Amino acid sequence: MKKVVCIGEMLIDFVSTDIGTNLVEAEQFLKKPGGAPANVAACVAKLGGVSYFAGAVGNDPFGTCLINELIDFNVNIEYVHKVTTPTTLAFISLAQNGERDFVFNRGADAEFTLPHNQTSLLLENSILHLGSATALLGSHLFESYLTAAKYARDNKHFICFDPNYREDLWKDNLDVFIQRSIQLIEMANFVKVSEEELALLTGEQDLAKGCDYLHTKGVSYITVTIGSRGCFLSTPTEKSIIPAYEITPVDTTGAGDSFIGAVLYQLSQANLAELTYAELAGYVQLGNKVSGVVCEYLGPMTGLTDFASIQKLDKALKAA
């Protein structure tokens, strides 16, 4: 089994419990652990895989809370740095259908540095997942992304990239988001995007045409999450929609992270040199199920820890 290495932000999500309001009107919030790469690492570990999280948190109570959360999930924290900058925070309001409105207060995650002399050890026998919402903004974290991606590419490691577009972060710099995303896509084996992200990155509304454009950049496998319809799976030779796991969503925060975490968990046990389309479709099907379970709970990691949800995950794994 390969380890799954997730680099990027871990933060505190303050999720409004005033369902159906926006952030202007929301008054009550719950503190929940979050951050896309950390969510992925937690999901991989919860399903029985080996995951590492590499990133920076503040030397403050929020940072301690987040590190403790990773330990509880059995995620390796050897490459988690505590820095003097306060822990990154996100504020989230929820519509009636579970969709979200975000505001980020960026802090410590930007300070993560991956020294060149530690890269080979971190990435030994690994799948590298780059899926930070904030990394592409620049700073030390983006430099660490490039260091890790170039090393992984040059040493034939499997690379997964999720651009995790957030409008609040990029409304004035969309060209930079696209340029930096394409830079990483060109080094990736596997790309996970939402329908909105595919259109932003390719200029194509048609899923097949958008995926074909990304395949010209060298990507072998693409998943496009399409909400309640499920996931569009694309390789250079085959394409299809894998139906969603039907649920009544409470909070879609972390839905994509749990989806890709479940897929990476399965890839970590696969022969990556001989993947078939049928195998990938099965991995995506389980990803849809795990994502569905997570969306039935408030907070991206809650659905991985609640007793009832664990029973659902166990059933999904046995049925896969």
The 10s digit of each residue's pLDDT in 133-177 is 999 998 999 999 999 999 999 999 999 999 999 888 888 899 999
Q: How does pLDDT run across 212-234, given as a tens digit for each residue?
A: 999 999 999 999 999 888 899 99
Check residue 307 and give its pLDDT: 45
DSSP 8-state code for residue 151:
H
> If residue 50 lies in a helix (H) or strand (E), which one and from where to where?
strand 50-58
Asked whether 300 and 258 are in contact (CB, 8 A), the reply is yes
- Determine the Cα–Cα distance for residues 269 and 273; give it in Å rounded to an integer: 12
> If residue 255 lies in a helix (H) or strand (E), which one and from where to where?
helix 255-267
Check residue 317 and give its pLDDT: 64
Lowest mean pLDDT among 2-16, 28-42, 182-196, 291-305: 291-305
- Determine the Cα–Cα distance for residues 266 and 43; give it in Å rounded to an integer: 11
Model confidence band, residue 97 (pLDDT cutoffs 50, 70, 90): low
Dihedrals phi, psi of 76, to nearest 5 degrees: -70, 130
Check residue 100 and give its pLDDT: 64
Model confidence band, residue 294 (pLDDT cutoffs 50, 70, 90): confident
Angle at 111 between CA 110 and CA 114, to 5 degrees: 110
Check residue 92 and give its pLDDT: 84
> If residue 313 lies in a helix (H) or strand (E), which one and from where to where?
helix 307-319
Q: Give Cα 92 distance to the centre of its chain.
A: 17
- Determine the Cα–Cα distance for residues 37 and 127; give it in Å rounded to an integer: 13
Averaged pLDDT of the chain: 89
Q: Which two tokens stand for residue 89?
A: 């925070």
Q: How does pLDDT run across 40-79, given as a tens digit for each residue?
A: 999 999 999 999 999 999 999 999 999 999 999 999 999 9
Sheet holding 231-234, edge to edge: 76-83, 50-58, 3-7, 126-130, 158-161, 190-194, 221-225, 231-234, 239-242
Asked whether 124 and 142 are in contact (CB, 8 A), the reply is no
- Determine the Cα–Cα distance for residues 122 and 126; give it in Å rounded to an integer: 8
Asked if the model's pLDDT at residue 98 lies above 70, the reply is no
Percentage of the chain modeled with pLDDT above 90: 68
* DSSP bridge partners of 51: 4
Q: How does pLDDT run across 249-276, given as a tens digit for each residue?
A: 665 666 789 999 999 999 999 999 999 9
Q: Give Cα 167 distance to the centre of its chain.
A: 16
Asked whether 168 and 137 are in contact (CB, 8 A), the reply is no
